[in-house]
Each structure stands twice: as C-alpha cells, then as structure tokens.
Amino acid sequence: MRRFLLAAVLAAAATPAFADEPIVLRGMGSFHVGGRVVEVSGKPVKEVVFSPGGVPAKLDPNGLYQVEGMYAQYFLPQNRKGKYPLLMWHGGGLTGVTYETTPDGREGWLNMFVRKGWDVYVSDAVERGRSGFASPDIWQGQPNFLTKAGPFERFRIGDGPGSWNADPAKMKVLPGNQFPVEAYDNFMKQNVPRWTTTDTAIIAAYTALVDKVCPCVLLVHSQAGGFGFKVAQARPDKIKGIVAVEPAVAGDKAQAANLKNIPTLVVYGDYIATDSRWPKMRQIGLDYADAVRAAGGKVDVVNLPDVGIKGNSHMLMMDKNNKAVADLIGDWLARQGLTE
Amino acid sequence: MRRFLLAAVLAAAATPAFADEPIVLRGMGSFHVGGRVVEVSGKPVKEVVFSPGGVPAKLDPNGLYQVEGMYAQYFLPQNRKGKYPLLMWHGGGLTGVTYETTPDGREGWLNMFVRKGWDVYVSDAVERGRSGFASPDIWQGQPNFLTKAGPFERFRIGDGPGSWNADPAKMKVLPGNQFPVEAYDNFMKQNVPRWTTTDTAIIAAYTALVDKVCPCVLLVHSQAGGFGFKVAQARPDKIKGIVAVEPAVAGDKAQAANLKNIPTLVVYGDYIATDSRWPKMRQIGLDYADAVRAAGGKVDVVNLPDVGIKGNSHMLMMDKNNKAVADLIGDWLARQGLTE
C-alpha cells in the first residue's frame, strides 16, 4: 500500500499543470433537499419595512415554516470518468466554499476533481451558508462565532494556543506549514456561525441528498467525518467509497460492519503528534477504522508525512500542496475501480 | 459489469439532463471581499464540544472577529462575448441561488448568461448564505424569518393576502402565473433569514466587490435594486450598464445625475396594477428613472405584458418563461454595445 502511494505521489508530481485547460461541463446547477415543515403559533403580527425607503409589509410570524433543507451545487464534466457522483461535505463552521477556490486564489478540489472527470456535488450543511437556519422559536441553542485566533490555533496552522497574533510578524506559524497564511483573513471570511445542536437535522438532510443523487462516493472533512460515516451506515448500499479527510468524529462502532463493502480512505496531515487535541481526534478515526476492518471491511489510513507529503494543516484542500493531496485521493479512487 | 451498468443507469437518472450544448469555461471559482475586523471583550470563556463524541475545545469569545465580508462565485466562459463581467445581485431573504437552477430544476439565468458569453459573478449579500452573519455582540437587530405563506402572497404568485394554503388544491394562484408553483416548497428552502439593519454593511461589501472586479454590468433584483443604484452612484465610472429587475428600492434621487452615462433597463412582470403593494413599489422605480432621465441619463422601462411576455411573478428568473426574459435582457445589453 505504502509503496503504491509513494509511486502515486511521484507520478502526480510529473503530471503537467492543467489549470489552463478549459472546464467542459455537460451541466451545472443547484437544488435543495430534505427538511421539514414546522408550525409556529401565538406570536404577535409585526409591521416590517424590509429595506429603508421600501413599502411596509405585515409580517405574521405565525404559520408554517419550511426548515432544515440543504443546498447542493453540482458540476457535471462532459468527459465523465468517475463511475459515481462525488459528494464533498465540508467541516464545522464552514460551507461548501471549502472546496472551491483556495483563500489565496488557487483552484480548489472542486475544480480538480471535475477536471479529473468526476460529477461533483458540493453542499452546505443545514444551518450553514445557502441552507439557512431556523428561528429561535423552532431551534433550541445558539450559534457559536469564532475569533480570528480560533481556527489558526486549532487547525494546525499556528503552533497551538497563543500562536495567532493581530501582527502577522508575531504569528507563530508551524514550520513548513502549507496553509496560505498570507490569505488567512480570507479564510476567516469563509467561516460562518455554527450551532452544536443540529446534528440530527444535518444527518437527515445529508441522508436526503444521498437518497436523491446516489449511488455515490463521499468525500468528507473534519466534522463531516461523523456525518459521512453515519449516513453510510444508514445507506450502505448507496455509498461506493468514502474518503475521510481528517475526520474529527467517527461513526458508531457498533454499526461498523455496515461499512464492510465500502472501500474507505482516511487521510491525515502533518503536526498531529505535537498538537494538544489532534492525537486524540486521530485515535477516534483509527479506532473506528479498526472496527470496520474487524468486521471484514477495507480501510486505508494515510498519514501524509509518511508518504512524503509534508506541512499539511487541517485545511488540506486549501494548502499550497492541495493538488498533491487531490492526486493521491484521485489515484486511490481509481485503484478501487471507481473510475472508468 | 452488468451490476455496474445498472448502477450507472440509475446514477444517470438521478442527475439532471441538459439538452443544450456543453458549458465551456476558461475558469470558475469563488472568493470573499470586504468586511471589517471588530473586537469583542469582557465575555466569559466557554468549553464547547463542537460535535457529539468530539474532543472539547475552549472557546474564548473575546478577541477579533472578521465580519461583514461577502461571498462571490464566478463562471468565465471560454467564448467570451460580454465586454464586461455581469454581476448578479439577489433580492431580500434570498442568496445567489436565485440565479442558479429554478426550483423545478430548469436552468437559471446564471447558466443562460454564461451560455450567452458573459463572465458572471453571483454573490450572497452580507448576512445571507455563504457570507455569514455577525454575533449579537456585534450586530444590533434580529433576523426575520418568513412563513411559507409570505413570499407566495407578496411575490405575485398567489392572489395576495390569504391566497396561500397548506393544501395545494386550495391555493389561489394568479391566473396564467408562470412561477413553477408545484416546486414552491423548493423555493422556500432557498429562503434564508434576513436582517433589516445591515444595509450599510451590505452596500460596503458590494462596493468592495465592484472595486475588485469592475468595470462591469449590474443585474439586480428586488431589494438589490437599492444596493445597485447606490453603489453605481458611488462608483459611476465602473458601472457600464444596469439591469434592474423589479427593484423594490431605488437610489437617491439627489444623486441620480451620477447615472447619466450608464445605460439602464428596468423590467417589471405581470399583475402589478392589481397588487396591494406593487403599484407603489413600481412608482418608486419609475420616479427614480425620471430623475435619471431629467439629468440626461438613459433609462428604458419595460413592463413585460406590454411586449407580450405575460404571467410573470416577482421571481422572473425562476418563472417558466425565464428564458424569454433573459433573452430580452441579453438583446438589450447587446443593443447598448456591451457585447462584442
């Protein structure tokens, strides 16, 4: 396995840059799936001027609300090579923007996998981005907001707590880090508020997405590791492969056998051993992988520094070597017979 | 092999079919612009488990926040014919999804104008969608949430107040309406909460977008009419044309002369005369058009029923005849010398 991966990395390095080639699509678009209708009653009617200078409208908050739907955008290459759609699910506090352009303006994994011939579906989890969120009359709990220091110190860009500084010259970036630190503020603009009480709604919506567009391959990151494994456990016949990129959460070990026919790749970046939280988070993923293997499943785990890909933060799809990681994943998918 | 073929057929059935020619792009991607950094202080540190089963993290809400940035996604056709980028700005309570696929799965104006050869930039206003929103520590005011009845009755889909009903058989749809009523629930899934206190931040971010990608042409809808005219007044040299689709708000009449060199088209749909609010809202647009003309500017106003395009709701870009309206706009842009 390791020998193959090394060969794949070397082959990828020899692949010519393709960013100048046009992207030819047989279709692109978006849709919403899932959600439910909830009734709110007993609230007073308001009069709202939606825009200064506009005409007042009566806003009756009582009635039926369409909530917890989920947005997905798709890009279908003309020269299709992936046997199934590839669904990209983002991590916590983020949206599908994770997979588009990098914060410093290079192509993201969406473009790269479309160029490889995959039908790609990028979604925003319930509550995030274009999926919207429900009112406090409907949802318990409050959203959390992240300071500029938060992801810098937790996503292995900086060297842990205290490493972020408003003065870039005083930031303690991990040595050799591949994250485009100069564009960190753009990354923070991508961050959106996140609830911690919406997992059930998010999993229901991802399941609705799978029911609509699968059989498919899942590519999940961070928080979406948990969503991906759990939805795969619920719909094992519809998931033909899973790529879990630094899953922060795993599935239910008691149901690990449900994944025994789904080839799975788990990828971790650099600096994990010396981080305050990531050794434990990686162990959660490794334990789950062991449970799937014990049930007869196939899980490949790649720690990128072991195959010569060094310096990756938690945001591997944005790192300066994001193409090398995409190529490793693309080659693994091909080896599973998921391309034609 | 046979099993794979069956799976491939099923997968193909789940993906939308497009009869048109492929879309050939020389590039696509996204970015965020604008915003500001705000400090929050004096709040207690929390411990948060972001995902059930995850590892607890300390969340210090004190610090610097990157807020009020704005998301934009772009599609650049290989066969470029528009002289300038075309920026599509959505209306209130909505996001850039407005311009993508229609609620019933047909192509939206994004695809149509890319196919016409326009570089298209679709954005989410500050607070909406992938732009995110700021915490109550930073923003005054609360978001508003719309019931399923709201847009149906205000957007000239149904016949005014009381026309929506949970039972589709009891809905009072305006006769001949072109909105895809059977997919109305999908449209409601596109709706996101909206504040009424964020206009200054939204205009600042749109101005930042114009400063980044223009000279350009603006295509604005409903609430964004006000944003478009105001940003054009502030950056008249950068705006080469304006298409205002049912603007709910106009610019500042005292600054109307700033638009005198910008060819402008204002488009209205059907059923306006008999609506409870739209005659007044249309008059706001007509009065502003008169002010621009009085200053020497050129504003064409098209009431679609007058040119034989009938049945349009407020969401013209989603209506079943959305291509006829796109073609009218495209032809107008060509007549202004904005294509090559």
Structure tokens given for A72? 């997905």
Q: What is the mean pLDDT of residues B117-146?
A: 95
Work out the pLDDT band at A57, boundaries 50, 70, 90.
confident
The CATH number that applies at residue A279 is: 3.40.50.1820
What confidence tier does A47 reach under pLDDT thresholds 50, 70, 90? confident
- Rounded to the nearest 10 degrees, how much is the dihedral formed by the CA atoms of B173, B179, B181, B185? -120
Q: Is A59 on the interface with B (CB under 8 A)?
A: yes
Alpha-carbon distance B217 to B232, whole Å? 10
Q: Which residues, other chains included, contact A286 with Cβ-Cβ below 8 Å and sequence gap of 6+?
A: A266, A301
Give dist(CA B302, CA B247) in Å, integer: 12
What does DSSP assign to residue B249? S
Would B316 be classed as within a structural domain? yes
- Identity (one letter) of the amino acid at B33? V
- How many domains are there within chain A? 1
Give me the percent of chain B exceeding a pLDDT of 90: 87
Mutate to test the interface with A, among B26, B66, B138 (most CBs of A within 10 A): B66
Nearest chain B residue to A226, by CA: B51
Interface residue B255 vs chain A (CB under 8 A): no
Structure tokens at A166: 């408003």
The answer, yes or no, to whether residue A129 has pLDDT greater than 60, is: yes
Sole residue written with tokens 């110190």: A153
Chain A within 8 Å of B177 (Cβ-Cβ)? no
> Residue A335 phi/psi, 5° resolution?
-65, -25
- DSSP, residue by residue, A174-239: PTT--S-GGGHHHHHHH---B-SS-HHHHHHHHHHHHHHH-SEEEEEETHHHHHHHHHHHHSGGGE
Tens of pLDDT along A146-166?
999 999 999 999 999 999 999
* Residue A44 included in any domain: no
Averaged pLDDT for residues A324-340: 98
Shortest CA distance from A36: residue in chain B: B189
CB–CB contact B26 A22 (8 Å)? yes
**What 3-state DSSP class applies to A79?**
coil
Q: Which residue has the higher pLDDT, B250 or B6?
A: B250
Identify all chain B residues contacting A134, using CB atoms and an 8 Å cutoff.
Answer: 145
DSSP state of B306: G
State the DSSP string of B63-80: EEEEES-EEEEEEEESS-
Rg (CA), chain A: 21
pLDDT of A15 > 50? The answer is no
Mark yes or no for CB contact B130/A49 under 8 Å.
Answer: no
Kindly state whether B30 is in contact with chain A, defined as any CB-CB distance less than 8 angstroms.
yes
Residues 6+ apart with CB under 8 A from A184: A103, A148, A152, A157
CA distance B234 to chain A (A): 18
The answer to whether A336 and A218 are in contact (CB under 8 A) is no
The shortest CB-CB distance from B130 to any of A50, A105, A129 is to A129
A132 in contact with B at a CB cutoff of 8 Å? yes
- Give the chain A residue nearest B150 (alpha carbons): A59
- Is residue B52 assigned to a domain? no
d(CA A86, CA A69): 20
Q: Is residue A61 part of a domain?
A: no
Question: Is A18's pLDDT higher than 70?
Answer: no
pLDDT-wise least confident of A16-25, A128-137, B8-17, B310-319 = B8-17
What average pLDDT score do residues A288-295 get? 98
Residue A141: the pLDDT is 80
pLDDT digits (tens, 9 = 90+) for B228-250: 999 999 999 999 999 999 999 99
| Banded model confidence at residue A59, pLDDT cuts 50, 70, 90 | confident
pLDDT, mean over chain A:
93
Q: Is A29 a residue whose pLDDT tops 80? A: yes
* Residue A19 confidence class, pLDDT cut points 50, 70, 90: low
- The rounded distance, in Å, linking the Cα atoms of B122 and A130 is 13
CB of A204 within 8 Å of a chain B CB? The answer is: no
Instruction: Tell me, yes or no, whether B305 lies in a domain.
Output: yes
Residue B149 belongs to some domain of the structure: yes
Residue corresponding to tokens 């990157």 = B66
Tokens, residue B86? 């075309």
CA distance B107 to A30: 9
Q: How many CB pairs under 8 A join A and B?
A: 267
The answer for residues whose C-beta is within 8 angstroms of residue B240's C-beta and 6 or more apart is B83, B84, B215, B216, B217, B262, B263, B338
Residue B46 within any structural domain of the chain: no
CB B58 within 8 A of CB A276: no
Q: What is the domain extent for residue A95?
A: 2-34+69-335
Touching check for B141 and chain A: CB below 8 Å?
Answer: no
- Whether B264 maps to a domain, the answer reads yes
